[in-house]
Amino acid sequence: MPKDSRKNKRETGLESVLPMREQLELSYIKDIIIHWGDDPSLLLIGVDSQALGGAFVDFIKKHSPLQVKLHGVEERDTVFDILRNADQLDAGAAQLLCFYTDVSLQPRDVASNLIFYRDYIPQFKLKIILITSHILLNTIIERAYDFYSISGFSGFFTDLSRSVQKDLAPAEYKPGPVQEFEKSHEDLNRYRQQDNVIPRVLMKKLFNSAGFAVKISGYDEALEFLEGAMGIAKKIADREYQAMIFGNIGHIYSDKGEFEKANENYNAAVKLFRKIGDARKETRVLSEIGYIDSKKGQLDRALKSYKKELEIAEMFGDLMGEAAVQNKTGLIYSLRGEFDKALKYHEDALRIFKEPGDLSGEACALESIGNIYRQKGYPGDALEYLRKAFKIFRKNGDLHGEADSLRFIGSIFIHSGDLDKASAYLEEGLSISKKINILRLESSYIGYIGNIYELKGDIDNALKCFEEGLAISKKCGDWRQEACHPGYIGHINELNGEYEEALKHYTEALLIAQKTGDFEIEVLSLGRIGILYLHKGELAEALRYSREALDKSERHSFLLGKPPNLWNIGNIHFAKGAYTEALKCLRESLGIAGKVGNAHDEATALIDIGRVYNAQYNNDEAVKYFKKALEIAQTAGFKLLTREVLLIAPKMNNRLRRSRKRPAEGDINP
């Protein structure tokens, strides 16, 4: 050993009092620092004791070959996000973030405050070192879904952005899921070609590559990586990784809509986590099973799973976990049509996410609140929250979040009848979806654009969109979207009077929904078939399918599915001339719409009731209901409903127009 190195060792007082094991650990960490490359990167290091942490800081400050700036967190409630202010740091200098020096800090506090914006590391050419306790490091690793870019080794973690292409202009750099997957795949292949491949490291690289593949809907590649990782995990008897791999395979099948296969893998993960005594991860997998329960209409079971997850999160002091569960619980209540209760859960989640400055969580909660107002039929309020979410997603460089928000905003303008605005938002969202290569989103966007063509009367282009969307959904194996597009195509067939073709496509959608257990699409498909038989004049079959859809909605406490099918049954009775039965069904649908606060459904029911009275030549009652429907439609900005109510009773137009209320300024702004 050179003389200067021996001198340096003697000068490091803390190092000299370390036990032999910790001296070896410090030596290992020193080697990492000394041989650290020049590329932008993130290094997370966990240490066993405060003395070891102090010795490492001492080494960094006195003897590291790197130019280092030391940053500390001294107040528990500090919102410390060094990367958010990355433009104030020196490019090329290593920034040491030491979270070990303040023993009063709790893991959940730091993990909640630590928000990594992965783009900033290559963008500002940063080298970040974080030293912390093992318990805190494990907490951060468990929250790896927040930054996805970590590949693990035995004692430290490095960010994959060190392999960013040098020829990209830093200010324009946005990794995106495709680039992330390609970089991860290159890293995996390079490692496989080495002579000294360590099975555990290869397992983790395969596991991480699968995660990147899922983000671009590369389900087949992801399953291949996970099968490889599982083989190694079984060989080295790593039960924890086996459980994690089972969980991720389950997530893939859940995304694809293959819920039985998803549950099979989730249950295998639960058994393993239970055996190794990891209650937190077990509960998270149970939460995923809860999501499948919600898609299959077993909403009470889903709520039970989320309740257990919330209890575990509270027990471990996982504040962000609590917020995530609150948001998911709100989604269940919105499915049940209990919008006020759903809103409370989403607002609680928003408040928790805001406390530590978790912008990603805040944006998700804002989006959920916006969607509640969208479902209730309050487009102005919905747009306010969705735009706030969109701005945060864009600020964070979260292209997936941007695309989701644009889709919801576009759908609001479709319902309001502002088709040009809707088209502008949806085209931008489609462009982002193609850029990040998320086929599920791309298929969904093309479906919405097809809806716009259909509303404009351009049936040929609508059909092209729906067929293209169906082909994309089949390509990526997304069964949910695969079930949606035949329904769209069937509606075009129905508009063209091609009833047998329409029935074939509606039945195709129904069978996919029944096979996957997706009760929402099953209810929708049954209702569509009922309407088709109504148009064909086969009223008995129309009534049978509509009642089956209504019964299924009631069995699953799916309140949102009841009004449309009550309209269908009411209109069937109307077609039979059974006006009393028709009014009974339509008034029940009106009551449900009013109860849940859904302005769109309320206006629709009022229009249908007005039509019944109009058919009975009871013009005064008809005008009363049409007038009320018109007020709701205009106040909420529903242009299509406004046109409908003015077209269905031409002789009454003058009376209705005199009662028209001017819509409030700014109800819906672009």
pLDDT for 164 equals 26
CA angle 548, 626, 669 (to 5 degrees): 90
Check residue 470 and give its pLDDT: 87
Look at residue 202 in the predicted model and tell me its pLDDT. Answer: 92
Q: Which structure tokens are listed for 392?
A: 């945060």
Residue 168 class from Cβ within 10 Å (0-12 exposed, 13-18 middle, 19+ buried)? middle
* Band (173; pLDDT cuts 50, 70, 90): very low
Name the β-bridge partners of 43. Answer: 129, 158
pLDDT of 213 > 80? The answer is yes
* Confidence tier at 231 by pLDDT (50, 70, 90): very high
Report which listed range, 323-327, 365-369, 480-484, 552-556, is most confident. 365-369
Which residues is 132 bridged to in the sheet?
46
pLDDT above 90 (res 472): no
pLDDT at site 519: 77
The C-alpha atoms of residue 30 and residue 60 are separated, in whole angstroms, by 9
For 236-250, write each residue's pLDDT tens digit.
Answer: 999 999 999 999 999
**Neighbouring C-beta atoms of residue 620, cutoff 10 Å:** 8
Instruction: Give the residue with greater pLDDT, 131 vs 609.
Output: 609
190 SS3 class: helix
Decide which of 223 and 113 is more confident: 223
Flag whether pLDDT at 336 surpasses 90: no
pLDDT value at position 171?
28
- Regarding predicted confidence, which is higher, 550 or 279? 550
Q: What is the mean pLDDT of residues 329-343?
A: 87
Q: CA–CA separation, 100 vs 123, rounded Å?
A: 27
Q: Does 349 score more than 70 pLDDT?
A: yes
Model-level pTM greater than 0.85? no
360 by DSSP, 3-state: which?
helix
What would the two tokens of residue 368 be? 């959920």
Q: 143-149: which pairs have CB atoms within 8 A and are 24 or more residues apart?
A: 143/111, 143/320, 146/115, 146/116, 146/360, 147/116, 147/118, 148/118, 148/180, 148/211, 148/212, 148/215, 149/42, 149/116, 149/118, 149/180
Q: Give tens-digit pLDDT for 619-639.
A: 889 889 998 998 888 887 777
Lowest average pLDDT, out of 3-7, 246-250, 437-441, 468-472, goes to: 3-7
Model pLDDT, residue 43: 66
Q: Amino acid identity, residue 504?
A: K
Q: In what order do the strands lie in the sheet with 150-152?
A: 68-72, 94-98, 127-133, 41-47, 156-159, 150-152
When pLDDT is cut at 50, 70 and 90, the band that residue 370 belongs to is very high
Rg for the chain, CA atoms, rounded: 29
pLDDT digits (tens, 9 = 90+) for 58-113: 777 666 655 555 554 443 333 344 444 444 555 555 566 555 444 455 555 555 44
Q: How confident is the model at residue 478 (pLDDT cuts 50, 70, 90)?
A: low
pLDDT of res. 254: 82
Closest C-alpha to 121, from 168, 153, 156, 74? 168
- What does the pLDDT read at residue 660? 41
DSSP 85: G
Greater confidence, 606 or 170? 606
- More confidently predicted of 438 and 242: 242
Percent of the chain with pLDDT over 70: 70
Confidence band (pLDDT; 50, 70, 90) for 369?
very high
Please report which helix (H) or strand (E) contains residue 271, including its range: helix 259-276
| CA distance to 270, 294, 295, 465, per residue, from 331 (Å) | 24, 9, 11, 29
Beta strands 127-133; 68-72: pairing state: unpaired
Q: What is the pLDDT of residue 514?
A: 84
Crossing angle of the two packed helices 359-376 and 339-354, in degrees rounded to 10: 160
Angle at 439 between CA 522 and CA 353, to 5 degrees: 85
For the chain, what is the largest distance between any 2 Cα atoms, rounded to a whole number of angstroms?
A: 107
CA distance 285 to 265: 10
**Stretch 551-563: mean pLDDT, rounded?**
80
pLDDT value of position 139 = 55
The arithmetic mean of pLDDT across residues 553-574, rounded, is 84
pLDDT band (50, 70, 90) for residue 501: very high
Residue 219: which H helix or E strand, with range? helix 219-235
Pairing state between β 68-72 and 41-47? unpaired
Does 373 score more than 50 pLDDT? Answer: yes
Mean pLDDT of the chain: 76
